[in-house]
Structures are given as structure tokens and as C-alpha cells.
């Protein structure tokens, strides 16, 4: 099954590329996703999703297959499995960055293979879930980039007055801390709300696989950096 999605990052392509390589920065933008470990070029992660009041967990591995920074294109592979079930998913994802009037459009083409109950559902419903997942990721990522682009606060200067002469003295500036607080991981996606159908309780595994796809699309070349 092939799925096509697009999202926009509010910075030029030259800035968007390294942002998408910074796994520690962008992982919390993916609904319910965390990175648990790394083995060579493989990143292991866990995805949590909700089916109404019920929480589900899935495990996955992502890896960069090829990359071309100059062209802004990367090809990645991801696979996932239900933590307490037999459903599986494997995806090959091609990501392409195109600058557009100061912003960057990211095109994500996914070739997805799934097994288990999710396989019986139509492309339309699955595409709806994929669109919701990528939409939430893009919104969170845009907020993260915008927040980090705020200008740093001016350094504080201490002013003291001599009790003998009354003359004011300006001491060296004290740097005000501008380090941003760690981003709180995005809440797990409610799959029932994403698809707008009670039938989604039967294919939570597929939506979890799409979450892995979103995370893979964000990784880019990170696996080959030290």
C-alpha cells in the first residue's frame, strides 16, 4: 500500500535539514513516541496510542538506507510489531525537502506492508489516520522550531552605587539563562478520534505503524552521525 503525505516546516530548507536530523529534539514531537536505545545504525523506539480509554504499546526499529543532503532526499526503512500481539508492519519511506518561499515542504512517500487484522481495512480510512498523525507531528515540530528561534534575552548588568562618592558602577553583565525547558513528549494519539470510526479498535496496529513512519521520516541522517 502506498501513502503520500506532505507537511511544512516554517524555516528554509538549509535550516530544516539539520533540524530533522536532531533526533533528541524532534522525537517528543511525534505523538506517543520515544527512542529507547540505539544499536549501530538502528534506532529502537516505542509508540503508545489510545483506543478511547484503552492504552496500547508497540515496538519498532528504524534505519537510514540512503541519503543525499544536497538534494534533500533520504530513504529509510522501519518495521514494527505489537508489544502484545502478532500484528506487524514494514515501511519504506522516501522523504524529500523542497523550499517554498522561506519555508520547507516535506514530501513523505510511504510503501507500507502490514499483517494481521489491520490489513483488511481500506486505504481511505488508513490514509485518514496517516494524515492526522503527520499533521500533529508537523504542528508540534513547527512550535518547537518557532520557540527555539526566539531571540535570546539581553544580559543583565549589575549597577551599584558607592556609599562614599555616590558614583554608580556598572559591573560585568550576568548572562540570563535562556535554556528552554525540555519539551514534554506529545500525548499519544487517540485512534478512534483520528479515524472517526468505531471500527478502528480492530486496526490499532496499523496506526501504530504509521506513527513509526512519522518518526522515521523525521530521523533522516541522524543514524550515521557520531
* pLDDT means over runs of 10, the chain (226 residues): 82 83 71 80 76 69 81 84 76 88 88 67 66 77 71 47 49 42 60 53 46 47 42
50 located within any domain: yes
157 located within any domain: no
Supply the pLDDT for residue 71: 92
Supply the pLDDT for residue 123: 66
- Residue 202 Cα to chain centre, angstroms: 25
Any idea what the CATH number is for the domain that residue 91 is in? 3.30.530.20
Supply the pLDDT for residue 221: 38
168 located within any domain: no
Give which of 195, 93, 183 is closest to 142, Cα–Cα.
183
Using only C-alpha atoms, the chain has a radius of gyration, in whole angstroms, of 22
163 located within any domain: no
9 located within any domain: yes
- Residue 191 Cα to chain centre, angstroms: 18
114 located within any domain: yes
Supply the pLDDT for residue 125: 64
Number of domains in the chain: 1
Question: Taking the CA of residue 163 as centre, how many other CA atoms within 13 Å lie in the half-sphere pointing to its CB?
Answer: 0
Supply the pLDDT for residue 105: 92
Residues 182-197, buried b or exposed e (16+ Cβ, 10 A)? Answer: ebebbebbbbbebbee
173 located within any domain: no
217 located within any domain: yes
Supply the pLDDT for residue 23: 64
Cell for 140? 508540534
The boundaries of the domain holding residue 135 are: 2-149+183-224
- Determine the 3-state secondary structure of 149 from DSSP: coil
Amino acid at each position: 500500500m502506498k501513502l503520500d503525505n506532505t507537511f511544512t516546516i516554517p524555516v528554509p530548507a538549509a535550516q530544516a535539514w539539520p533540524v530533522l536530523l536532531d533526533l533528541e529534539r524532534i522525537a517528543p514531537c511525534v505523538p506517543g513516541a520515544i527512542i529507547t536505545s540505539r544499536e549501530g545504525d538502528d534506532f529502537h523506539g516505542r509508540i503508545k496510542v489510545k483506543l478511547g480509554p484503552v492504552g496500547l504499546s508497540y515496538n519498532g526499529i528504524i534505519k537510514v538506507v540512503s541519503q543525499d543532503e544536497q538534494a534533500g532526499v533520504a530513504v529509510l526503512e522501519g518495521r514494527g510489531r505489537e508489544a502484545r500481539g502478532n500484528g506487524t508492519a514494514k515501511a519504506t519511506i522516501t522523504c524529500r525537502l523542497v523550499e517554498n518561499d522561506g519555508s520547507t515542504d516535506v514530501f513523505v512517500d510511504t510503501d507500507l506492508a502490514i499483517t494481521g487484522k489491520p490489513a483488511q481495512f481500506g486505504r481511505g480510512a488508513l490514509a485518514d489516520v496517516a494524515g492526522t498523525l503527520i499533521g500533529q507531528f508537523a504542528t508540534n515540530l513547527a512550535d518547537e522550531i518557532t520557540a527555539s528561534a526566539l531571540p535570546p534575552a539581553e544580559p543583565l548588568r549589575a549597577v551599584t552605587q558607592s556609599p562614599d562618592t555616590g558614583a554608580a558602577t556598572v559591573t560585568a553583565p550576568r548572562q540570563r539563562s535562556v535554556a528552554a525547558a525540555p519539551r514534554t513528549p506529545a500525548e499519544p494519539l487517540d485512534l478512534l478520534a483520528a479515524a472517526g470510526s468505531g471500527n478502528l479498535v480492530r486496526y490499532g496496529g496499523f496506526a501504530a505503524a504509521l506513527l513509526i513512519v512519522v518518526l522515521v521520516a523525521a530521523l533522516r541522517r541522524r543514524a550515521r552521525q557520531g
